[in-house]
Each structure stands twice: as structure tokens, then as C-alpha cells.
Structure 1
């Protein structure tokens, strides 16, 4: 397998950066696209339709019709060829094409023979995945059906962009809520001073029997206390709120990573363990780019860890009065990296390599991680040596 060549777009880093900007949660998209996969099968008369997103290591099936499929290694897919150009890609008989004839979905119980894929184009040349239809019988699609399939693919892209826009709106709403909390903090001090002063005047005024003056002071005192209670209520909302759509806490982040990457680890017989630091499990933080960063590190660790090895992930959150820091540590028992490779990773220039199981290394996953960490004002460090495994640590500042 290591000797085979695999297609890689010339603009691969640009492509996966564009994909990371959408910041998809691959476990939570089925309902957004299920109708389109059903429509694709009805239009083309095929048994199966898939909407696949392809990142650095994995093809993620975000919606399916006619077959249960969630993910597969990128190098095993047919859609990796579809994203190579802005035109469609067709294989009339997969059993006769040496690139696919030995794949599990061709020679296995699925027995697939026909494939037609349409690239999902964020913009010309930036293909993040494919809408494809498949069948157990050899077929040929008419020009009219191909045109309808292209319209469906365009609709998929429009929905992807709508999801991205919605996430941006949610982020702005969170910023607004943060401003509200800050305002509450800002007014709390002056209000406390007013109440303290009015208490003092109220005490002294009582001795002078100035009833009218006391009445006004009491009103000020009452109003001030009401505003102070309001400020406390605003500040306490964070404790009562459920997580926003664009937020994680540590347990939810752990569950997402296990659901996404446990199948990859089991497929290779690698033990994947994810642990949390204690004490801040319920504290929310932005999920912006986190699945992209942690996911690429985990996929990379699995790739370079032999069967029977272990990949350990630790998620931590540290809080102080001035900062909130999220730490992601990914440690493996794999082949390790030498000093030159570590410097390439930190410079965002990781090279294509072959994994311990012959997996194709596309050389862009770690470059993407470096780019994303830098864009979030975070830090990444690597501790490794040949034959002694690798530990990646990412530290990302979060809004208080």
C-alpha cells in the first residue's frame, strides 16, 4: 500500500484551511443534509448516496442514504479523486478499476460497482468533499440527471456556508453576552459605593430627624440595592445557562473526540484514552477550531502508532482572575520524530510520510494544526525522539 500513489490537490493546504474555517462538527450534521441524499438517489435511480467531507486524514460521511457509513481513511475512498478537479468523476465499473477493485466496499458484501461523484466547491478550486451516488449495478447517468446532481451539490455547499454563518452569529451573540457581563462587573463597584454612602447618611440623618431627607435616602438605598441585585443576577446567569451551540465543556469535548476517533483507533488496534483534569468540568469554552486541532493531532498519533500501541489525550482547563487556558495534550507510543521533523512541524511545514500501517500521510494535517493554533494566539510544543513516541501540547487562551 505504501508504494501506491494517491491524489493530492496542488492547493491542499489552502483547501484544508478553507475547510477548517467552516469548523464542522461531523457528528451533528445528518439532519441538515439527509433530504439531499434521498433526493440524489431519487434523481439518479441509484441505491446509495453519500455526502462526504475530506480532511487531512479522513473521509467523513455527514449524511447517507442506502448504506450506513460514518468515516473511512482518506486513501481508501473514491471521492479523493473527485476533489481533484471542479468537474465530476465517474467510474462505471469499480471491479474493473485497479484503484478500487480490492476495496472493502467493492469486494465485500456491499459489492458496489458504479460510482458518480460531484465535487463540493466552496469556490473554484477549493473542493472540500463530494456528493456521490453508488450502485451495485453498472449504470450510466444522462446529461439531465448529471445537471440535477450538480444542483444538489450546489445546495449542499450553500447549506455548509449557512451553517458557518450561523456559527459566526452565535459567536457574536456570545461576545455580546460577554460585554453584558463586563458591564455588570463595571457597575457593581459604583453601586456598592452609593449604597455604602447612603447607609452612612441614613444612619447619621436619623439622629437629626430629617424625615424628608431620610425618605429620599431610603429610596436611593432601595433603588441601589435593586440594581446591585440585578447585576448579581446577570453575573450568575453563566452558572444557570446550558452550553451554547458554539461552546464545549471538558466532558462534551471528550465525548465528541471519542465518537469521532475511537473507530480509527479500533480499526488499527490502537488503544485511545482520553482523560480530563478535575475541577472545571462544567466551565464552558469556545469550540472554535478545537475539533480540527485535536482531531488532526489524534489522527496523526494513530497513524504513527503500531497495532497494540496507545494514544493518550489529556484535556485541561486552568482558570485565574486574568486568564482561562485550555490545554490539549496528545501522547503516543509510536515511531517518534527527530529534531528536524519537529522543527518542520512547528514551522507549519510538515512533510508527507507513511504511517506504521502503510497509511498515506498527506503532510498537511500538522501544518494545519500549526496554522490554526497560531490564528487563535495559542502555543504548540512537541516532545519526541525516534523510537520513543511523541507528545504534542497545545495551549489555547479562552475568553473569560
Structure 2
């Protein structure tokens, strides 16, 4: 309950979360996610679709038959590999690259085994060279995108912000790709569209946070009362609720497509697109807040002016502690001197033997005895 109360207060903006001050926590979480994702890429690997590795695709309607019957009808005609997917009321079967004669034989066997007219079986043959060209174009687009992002952020902000944003983007790509590897989802052109979308989304979130940090930290001087880290954390806290709300609103419809559209309607293409969007949006929101911002702060804290600011604040704090300690020590001495004087409870002025009493004599003009008039002195 206490945790829920704290989260609720942070969400309402009543308190600020110390995100910048705990980089080791966030880096540890990111490290675990990256290890998990890289392991998936190395062990499972990405399941590239026919558009990338080449092959033959057969699409036909036979809703009354099972997956085993559909796979048997395709492999029975000479195809060695058959990936069967349900897309609504239709079946989509992907095989290795087949010749024209083999494609015709597969169509005839499907018509015979599944009672589907041969002219209702749609075929598509993708060459391996075309798939390789698609992969090459995709990598080129990614490199150009990264270069443009670095150039834009370096001009609009500075190179440290550009570096932090690019690190967050690579972080998002690797983790999303790792989830794809472990899930076994097919990588299709729709997947690439999803990847490009999450890159833009993650970048948007990072730019919003960086712009607020730039505005809040701009007035800082060596005589300021807060460090760059504290100012950046204040800026991040002020945009935290906005980032969470934006992400939540964007993730909900994507989750509906992924979990409802694919399970109830069997939308294969939407499944490939929605998984990359769903994972990428969650990871992108996390990285822009918990990875890019702490990394930016660590880079900025190395600048000479912010190093001097931190040293000045440390000296002021040490001086204030010394003054407080001296004042406390002086008060303790006064209390000790007051305790040395015994209390005369009897009121007779007697003091125990061997005890020295310090008497305080009130300073002021000395009182002289009154002298009489000249006539009175003569009479004496």
C-alpha cells in the first residue's frame, strides 16, 4: 500500500522521483535486458520472413481443416519446409524457393487434399536476391536515420544530448529485436515499419525531456545553490507525468491490436507490426527517462563549470557544518559552567567545603558614600 501511495503521489506530481540520482539501478536493469536480448539473438536468431530470405507463399481458404492437414498437403507435393499461419479464414503457407513446376504441383495437391479449387490458391514467389536487397536497403535506411538524428540533436541541443539519445535508440532496437527472437515472430516489412516508428517515438520522448533540462539548467552558474544533477532531476520530474500519460495513451490501442486482433481475428501482418510497436514503446519510454537522461547528466557533470559548481556547493556545506558544530560546542561549554555552581537550597549562603564558586560582579559606576554639607562636617 505504501508503494502504491508513493507511485500515486509521483504520478500526480506531488513529489519528485530521484531518477537521475540512481544511475546504477537503471543501468543494471538495462544490462539484464540487453543480456537477455542478445542471448535470444544468438541462440534463437531472428525468424526472417519470405520477403528477406526468399521463398514461395501459398494463400488459400480452407477454414475447416487443421494446421497438420494444411502442412501435409503442402509438403506432400515436394516442399521440404512449410510455415503455416492462420490469417482470418485463410491459410498462409511459406516454403523454400520452388520452381514453377513445383509451385504448380503444390497447388494441385492442395486442391486435391483440401478440396480447394486450384484457381483459388494464390501464389507468390520471392527470390533470395530480392530478399537480400531488402535487407541491405533496411540497414542503409537505419544508418542514414542515425546520422540525421545525430546531426539534428547536435545542432538543436549539443553533442552530449545527441550521444545520449543514440545510445537510448540502440538500447531500444536491441531489446525489441531480442523479444522478437525469443517469441519466434516472423520478421516482415511490417516489422521494419514498426522499428522505424518506435525509433521516432523514443526520440520524441527524449527530445521533450532534453528540452526541459536545457531550459532548467540554462541559468546555472558557479554561485548557484543546486547542482546540474539536481536541476536535471527537477526538469525530468516535471515531464514525467506527461511522458507516462503519452505512452499509456499510445500503448493501449497497440495492445488491443496485438492481444485482441491477433488472437480473435488472426491478423498476421498486424501481429508483426503491433509486437514491435508494443515492445518498442514501452522500452522507449523507459530508456528516454532512465537511460538517456542519467547518461546525459553524467556527461554534463564533467564540464569544468559544473565541476566548479559542485565544489563550491561542497565548500559551502562544509563551512555551514563547521559553524553549526562550533555553535553547538559553545552552547555545551556554557551549560557545563552553569552546572559547576552548586545550588544553595537552604538560602543561607553556605557552600560545601572544597567547592569554588565563581561570582559574577555586575559592572557599573561605583557607589560612593554620601558626604554631608560643609556645616555638618564642621559640627563633627
TM-score range, shorter chain: under 0.3
- TM-score of the superposed pair, with normalisation by structure 2: 0.25
Higher strand fraction: Structure 1 or Structure 2?
A: 1
More helix, by proportion:
2
Higher relative contact order structure (alpha carbons within 8 Å, sequence separation ≥ 6): 2
